[in-house]
Structure 1
Amino acid sequence: MSAPPDCTVIVPTYNRSHLLRHTLDSLARQRLSPGGSFEVIVVDDGSTDDTAEAVADRHDRLDLRYFFQEDQGYRVAAARNVGIHHARGGICVFVDSGVLLHSGALAAHLAAHGGSEDPVAVMGYVHCFNEGNEDGEQILREIDFTDPDASLRRFTEQQRWPDLRESYYARYGEELGALTAPWLMWWTCHVSADTAQLRRVGGFDEAYRSWGAEDVDLGYRLHTAGARFVLRRDAASLHVPHPKSYRSNMASAAANYRYFAEKFDTPVARLVPDHHFEEIEDLLRSRGLADGAVTDRFGTVSRAMDQATAEGSGR
């Protein structure tokens, strides 16, 4: 029996075969250290296009497995859980259809995990992600799909279309372990986590049946379980633009954030539906809860916040 791969790349998809092809092609260009290996699991959430053919065409270039689940509505959480269940690698890297990885991205993920004794949750850096497909046509014209590395290098040098979280990193720094709620920025368009820890915390909550928050939910649980959050800029990627509705996505996310708050019902979780993610970190800092003594586990944070709230109200 062959040795397990170093990591498993999990790609959920639904009727986006053209985007999936770009993602798989970028995975075929990955450069790992000698002896390094990875597998790819594509989980199809009920596509009716030629997604299966797009996968089959790349079996000769990738260690690739394909799973299909019937279309029962939006089930990306369930799709990713299929990937976690079948993963043979010790690290799971989550990538969305249409995300093109730099050729050194997987090596960067593996370096982040290999350099820590404790489980880590890694955030890749995502250029060109937009909320309402703004600049979509221009970005498409400027991406060199045959050489994503060159496009990434050019966009970085020109400081064009940086990661949407750049303002967050500029505001709070890149030492995410010093933050109270780094899980708010762990977005599964391009992240990774320890496979064993993902299984221990229960994977994605499949009650999320519309866009948004299933990654924040899992990030929250990884944090409470002791994962250390890390930004790796060298795990770089491009998010290929595609049609989307910002208004629709935000309405969906708002409902999911309310579910998140009710599910965990902690002071930190209850801030999520009504505050911008950057505001939440500010609120926690203003209450003296941003130091390591109270941010290492959310149980500690919650108790401290409850105490601060009680003192502030005179109770």
Structure 2
Amino acid sequence: MKISVIIPTYNRAEMLRDTLHHLARQDIPVDDFEVIVSDDGSTDHTKAVVDSFAGQLNMKYHWMEYLGFRAGHARNAGAGMATAPLLVFLDTGGMVGPDFLRAHLAEHARPGGPRAIVGYAYGYNPDYGHVEVDAIAEAMSRMPPEQVVEHFTGKSWFLDVRHGLYEKYGFDLSRMAIPWLLFFTINVSVPAKEFHQAGGFDEGFDRWGCEDMHLGFRLFRNGVPLELSRTAWALEYPHERNRANDMQDVAINLRYFLAGWEEPQVEVLALLIPRLLFGTIDDECRAVLDWAASVRDLDVSAEIDAAVKEIAPSGRIVVFGSGGRVPPSLPSATLFDFDRELLQRATAGGGHTGHHRMGLLTGLDDQSVDTVVITSRMAGLWGRWSEDLLAEAGRVGRKIHVTFSAHS
């Protein structure tokens, strides 16, 4: 067994039938792969559809009680049943050509260490209108996926919704600051060893969205490069979506993501995705990383000391941009900085708590502190983020003290 295909599903029996039909057309020996359907509590005829492929595919089936959205749980259950060294995660409704699995295997056979593959997804665009949806559905009713892809070649609306970013970076995800931004499990593959070392999917995501990026984030942190494959493509079958509800769920999941992994890049993600600014996120994260590197040696302890003397605080203080050293005059405070190592130095004595964030989303309660001090370590980010930083400072603090000239 070379490859395990894991398909989470819920009450989409006929769409699943089409996905399994195209997996049965693969041009590699059937004994080289298995297909695991992980059912998140379907009440339709999903099990009967799975059973109907028993003579064509090496099928496994896992059913669990429906307790709300649990796609991560379903994928983990499928991965737990897998016996192959390579896992492919494919959504129900992911239609593939006959060379799909051969292409994924080839990507992992290239020289170099282990990698995670982000497969291209034709037709994947949650914002499609009825015209595009109807056109794709009609074509798929009379042509196999590879012919549908050929038929719509040149149609910009048929491209993967991520195509603009792929193109921007020359289809090379290593040029991105946060390539995990594009890790969508509609079609990805990852070695089983690396998947399990990363902890699999976080089952704390109990709403739609972001659990796949979260896995990509952890793979990337573990040193697993994320790479794009345009040959290991899938075509998404059009289906109903509630875009407004989806975005509400995403906003909640992003806060969960940030609470578990405090990093400025995740903070930017959590702020901008709900604003529908997906295409700008990598550039914004790159700018934060570049600024952080440029001010690594900037010591603002004198600024903080002067602020403490000026405001004569008697209550709780928060500092945005603490750096690695704070003055003895600073009473017990909550420190925020975009440099994790410097933040650890600043909090090493135990007198202060720290958060590896910029201060865009602090996670603190409304009006829970007396004063928010914003230092010149934030100056290079001020032109872009001042409005958001001041809004968050005003939400959590009764007073705001900026130690630098906003116009300098």
TM-score, structure 2 as length reference: 0.69
Contact between 2:119 and 2:234, CA under 8 Å: does it hold in 1?
A: yes
Residue of structure 2 equivalent to 1:31: 27
Residue of structure 1 equivalent to 2:397: none
1:241 aligned onto 2:238: yes
Aligned to 2:41, which of 46, 50, 61? Answer: 46
Change (3 A) 1:102 1:286: same
1:13 aligned onto 2:9: yes
Question: Mind listing any 5+ residue stretches in structure 1 that lack a counterpart?
Answer: 291-300
For 1:248 and 1:228, how far apart are their aligned partners in 2? 32
Tell me how far 1:287 sits from its aligned partner.
4.1
Name the amino acid aligned to 1:210: R
For 1:287 and 1:211, how far apart are their aligned partners in 2? 28
| 1:1-315 aligned within 5 A | 5-32=1-28, 37-134=32-129, 135-144=132-141, 147-275=144-272, 276-287=277-288, 289=290, 303=340, 311-313=377-379
Contact between 1:126 and 1:190, CA under 8 Å: does it hold in 2?
A: yes
**Larger Rg computed on CA atoms:** 2
For 1:305 and 1:312, how far apart are their aligned partners in 2? 14
Question: Mind listing any 5+ residue stretches in structure 2 that lack a counterpart?
Answer: 292-337, 344-355, 359-375, 380-402
Tell me how far 1:98 sits from its aligned partner.
0.6
Name the amino acid aligned to 1:224: R
For 2:340 and 2:244, how far apart are their aligned partners in 1? 35
Residue of structure 2 equivalent to 1:295: none
Tell me how far 1:147 sits from its aligned partner.
1.7
Tell me how far 1:312 sits from its aligned partner.
3.9
Tell me how far 1:12 sits from its aligned partner.
0.3
Contact between 1:102 and 1:152, CA under 8 Å: does it hold in 2?
A: no
Which protein has greater RCO, CA pairs closer than 8 Å, 6+ apart?
1
Tell me how far 1:35 sits from its aligned partner.
9.1
For 1:47 and 1:308, how far apart are their aligned partners in 2? 40
Tell me how far 1:141 sits from its aligned partner.
0.8
Contact between 1:261 and 1:271, CA under 8 Å: does it hold in 2?
A: no
For 1:256 and 1:308, how far apart are their aligned partners in 2? 17
Residue of structure 2 equivalent to 1:297: none
Instruction: Specify the SS of the correspondent of 1:163.
Output: coil
Tell me how far 1:281 sits from its aligned partner.
1.2
For 1:116 and 1:269, how far apart are their aligned partners in 2? 31
Contact between 2:268 and 2:285, CA under 8 Å: does it hold in 1?
A: no
Contact between 1:132 and 1:245, CA under 8 Å: does it hold in 2?
A: no
Instruction: Specify the SS of the correspondent of 2:230.
Output: strand
For 1:254 and 1:308, how far apart are their aligned partners in 2? 18
Q: What do residues 203-223 of structure 1 show as CA deviations (whole Å, max 9, x unaligned)?
A: 000011110010011010000
Instruction: Specify the SS of the correspondent of 1:74.
Output: coil
Contact between 1:11 and 1:96, CA under 8 Å: does it hold in 2?
A: yes
Tell me how far 1:152 sits from its aligned partner.
1.5
Instruction: Specify the SS of the correspondent of 1:156.
Output: coil
Cα RMSD, aligned residues only: 2.4
Tell me how far 1:260 sits from its aligned partner.
0.7
Contact between 2:264 and 2:357, CA under 8 Å: does it hold in 1?
A: no
For 1:145 and 1:79, how far apart are their aligned partners in 2? 32
Change (3 A) 1:224 1:48: same
Instruction: Specify the SS of the correspondent of 1:123.
Output: strand
Name the amino acid aligned to 1:311: R
Q: How many pairs were matched up?
A: 300
For 2:281 and 2:5, how far apart are their aligned partners in 1? 31
Contact between 1:93 and 1:193, CA under 8 Å: does it hold in 2?
A: yes
Contact between 2:38 and 2:74, CA under 8 Å: does it hold in 1?
A: yes
Q: Percent identity?
A: 34
Tell me how far 1:156 sits from its aligned partner.
2.4
Change (3 A) 1:158 1:277: closer
Change (3 A) 1:305 1:15: farther
Change (3 A) 1:116 1:277: farther
Name the amino acid aligned to 2:118: M
For 1:203 and 1:64, how far apart are their aligned partners in 2? 22
For 1:247 and 1:281, how far apart are their aligned partners in 2? 24
